[in-house]
Structure 1
Amino acid sequence: MTRTVLAVGAHIGDMDLTAGPTLAKLVLEGADATIVALTPGERGHPRLPPSEYKKQKIAEGEAFATAIGADFIVLDHSDGFLPDTDDVAAELAAVIREKQPDTLITHWKHSIHRDHEHAASLTERARFLAGLPMEPADGVDGPRHSVRSVLHAENWEDMEGFHPSLYVPIPDEAFYRWVSAIRHQAFARGETYGFRYIDYYTALMTTRGCLAGYPRACAFHTKGTPEITKLAGP
């Protein structure tokens, strides 16, 4: 059975970093994956104006998704001002109905970044709306769809109360596909505010792999007891 996964980030690059290795693994195993950015993340560059950086971010997000074999969608909300409203949740619910995912991946609900908290809330609300009967006037097209599970990715900005309960082993092929793709994003290379994102998440995968008994693993928060899973297949 082919799995379908939808990863929802507040900005372009959020899910690329935190869920990207897992998405690459799933695609290699035959799954369908889509990355959704609720904003471009256009205010994340200290020197470029938002309008210029927006174009760069969208190009980087598209290139990353293509490189790992995923689809890419970016909604046109404003970085730093992402509203936690039913209108935005309805936009995302329409994407859920279109893509019919088995699993949603998003931010943890507590963060130093309000956009991340709103993304987590919007994903839960969109999951609910996607399963409701709707009419054309409601703005949510497509057949109803119930999403089986929601995973919260590990992000250094979202660590308050985050406790890993799911470890996904990341094989070499998926890891190197992710590295090859993510290094083309300027912020991930540390060219915006200097944080060494690629080094951090590479080291984090090694740390989580030690706990899971694999060379590398990604950690997620989900309901239930801690487990190690392949997250794909029957």
Structure 2
Amino acid sequence: MKIACIAAHQDDEMHCLGTLLKYRQRGDDIAFICVSNGELGASWDNASKPHEIAALRQKEMDDVAAALGADYICLDRPDGFIFDSPDLRREMIDAIRRVRADVIFTHWTSDYIPDHSVVASVVEYAALYAQIDSVLPAIPALSAAPAIFYMNPGDGYGFEPSHFVELDDDTLTEKLRVLRLHASQMAVMRELRGYDYADIMEQDARRQGARVMRNFAESFRPCLLERRTPLSNLLP
């Protein structure tokens, strides 16, 4: 299968990275699609210019993709200013077709930043239309609309997970190593909280695992929209 993580920003894949690693371990192909260029990702750096920050985050995402042997597409929208539009819908359809996605992981429809919620909505739309031959026929349509799983955004957004993927010790260790390739974002979080995103993801993996009597897990919800609803056996 071809598994696509479609997110607003470089590093948002943290919520499904362990699951992606498990797909890769069994031989599935991975693709990352980021909508923004990440140019606002240096919260306490007044010296660097936005294009410099964007270039750094692209390099970090390239390194993450390389660690999984994955394809990477960036739609290069301004960070913090992602809006649903005909152009973005067309570009998303094209991107989903280019990677030939069978399964998509994306943001939950309610989240702490509008960039995430907009991407979720656009993905829902584009996944359906990626199957329709008469829509943007320059790139061949998919034989079926990709199934969608929503990533867990954390508490406070009406997300109640129903599907869990167990992570063993080695997979969690590799997830944290790969996530820390986003060095700029680890530094931002350490400035904000005193610990980085990898620390947060380790804590969350323990919390999600406890819900299913396992040491570590990631959790998801399936999309319930027609033709995009996944079977649970699509998870590794």
User: Shorter-chain TM-score: which interval?
Assistant: 0.7 to 0.9
1:146 aligns with 2:144: yes
- Alpha-carbon separation, structure 1, partners of 2:141 and 2:233: 30
- Alpha-carbon separation, structure 2, partners of 1:222 and 1:79: 27
* Pairing of 1:105-124 with structure 2 (within 5 A): 105-124=105-124
TM-score by length of 2: 0.87
CA deviations 1:49-87 (Å, max 9, x no partner) are 211100100000000111123221111111011121122
- Alpha-carbon separation, structure 2, partners of 1:216 and 1:134: 44
Say if 2:30 and 2:68, in contact at 8 Å, map to a contact too. Answer: no
Say if 1:28 and 1:174, in contact at 8 Å, map to a contact too. Answer: no
Distance 1:229 1:205, change over 3 A: farther
Alignment partner of 1:34: what SS?
strand
Which residue pairs with 1:176 in the alignment? 173
TM-score by length of 1: 0.87
Which residue pairs with 2:227 in the alignment? none
Say if 2:93 and 2:126, in contact at 8 Å, map to a contact too. Answer: yes
Deviation of the 1:127 alpha carbon:
0.6
Which residue pairs with 2:5 in the alignment? 7
Of stretches 143-152 and 119-128 in structure 1, the one that deviates more from structure 2 is 143-152
Structure 2 unaligned segments of length 5 or more: list them.
225-230
CA deviations 1:174-202 (Å, max 9, x no partner) are 22222221112124423365243111111
* Pairing of 1:184-195 with structure 2 (within 5 A): 184-191=181-188, 193-195=191-193
Distance 1:159 1:10, change over 3 A: farther
Say if 1:34 and 1:70, in contact at 8 Å, map to a contact too. Answer: yes
- Alpha-carbon separation, structure 2, partners of 1:18 and 1:230: 17
Alignment partner of 1:84: what SS?
coil
- Alpha-carbon separation, structure 2, partners of 1:159 and 1:25: 28
What amino acid maps onto 2:206 in structure 1? T
Superposition RMSD on alpha carbons, in Å?
A: 2.2
Aligned residues with identical type, % of pairs: 25
Structure 1 unaligned segments of length 5 or more: list them.
none
Number of corresponding residues? 224
Distance 1:30 1:231, change over 3 A: same
Of stretches 53-62 and 190-199 in structure 1, the one that deviates more from structure 2 is 190-199
Which residue, out of 165, 170, 192, partners 2:162? 165
Say if 1:68 and 1:177, in contact at 8 Å, map to a contact too. Answer: no
